[in-house]
Copies of this chain bind each other. A is one copy, B any other.
């Protein structure tokens, strides 16, 4: 069960997001965005396929941890959720993903060209969200806007690296961790940092929460990589060993490739083929077992989680707020979906 802190402000967030999107025209752009956000089906009928809204929840919890009223972080929370959805939309096109969470992706329905536009529009909307400013709050609003852009740029840089890694076997664990820090960690950093800024926290506190978020993002991505190989279909919506079939070089694979020896060679052989056979899938799974890849990933995620929690030990933060954030971090690393 997700901790209550993760869903507490869900209704306000959804209302806020919907009001931001309501200005969009023409109708086809509005439909693509509402479909992608999980609010509508292809025909425009209401549906509920919303995501977990993890990043905006972390943003609002960080605001509370920095002793602010969490609802002050709503514009920032909406902004990070929109940036996240912008990146998903473009990522689906780039990876040729036809399905996400059991639904056809936007580009398979409206075509790649219009899907690129829908992503671009989400990014512009994210910016407009964070620039909603109460008079007197100009300076924190500017700091938040700049942080959002810095971290969006970093996320795009991570996506560039991710696509480059697909073309090579010359990836080591350090380079992989740098890539996911950018691709996933940066937006988690942004979520917590913007929450702190919305609370009116000092730069020092904002930096600390940002660093904690970045580490949470790393732990989250490592957990996601593990689920892509060892998660079960009913829980994740993906086939078992989905990332092996897609020849995605996630952490367990990069770890295997980085070791000299039989396991790394077998993984490389399977990943070099055009299509991965069932035999290939089980070869990779047993190679990963041989090198204890699951334990390796699990321990690394645990380390990042501990580091993330260590950043939260600061008397300037609210003990209750920190406890709730920690609960969410624990949940992220125990989730099975």
Contacts and interface: CB of A to CB of B under 8 A. Distances in A.
Interface in A102-153: 112-114, 116-117, 119-121, 123-125, 127-128, 131, 133, 138-139, 141-142, 145-146, 149-150, 152-153
11 contacts: A26-B160, A86-B120, A93-B113, A119-B120, A120-B159, A121-B160, A124-B153, A127-B127, A127-B149, A128-B149, A131-B146
A33 to B, nearest CB: 11
A163 B117 contact: yes
A137 to B, nearest CB: 10
Q: How many identical chains are in the complex?
A: 2
B142 A131 contact: yes
Which are the 3 A-B pairs with shortest beta-carbon distances?
A94-B113, A124-B153, A138-B138
A175 to B, nearest CB: 10
A156 B121 contact: yes
Contacts of A119: 120
Contacts of A127: 127, 145, 149, 152
A90 interface: yes
Contacts of A25: 157
Given A131-B146, A138-B139, A142-B142, A159 B28 contact: no
Contacts of A128: 146, 149-150, 153
A141 B138 CA distance: 9
A124 B187 CA distance: 14
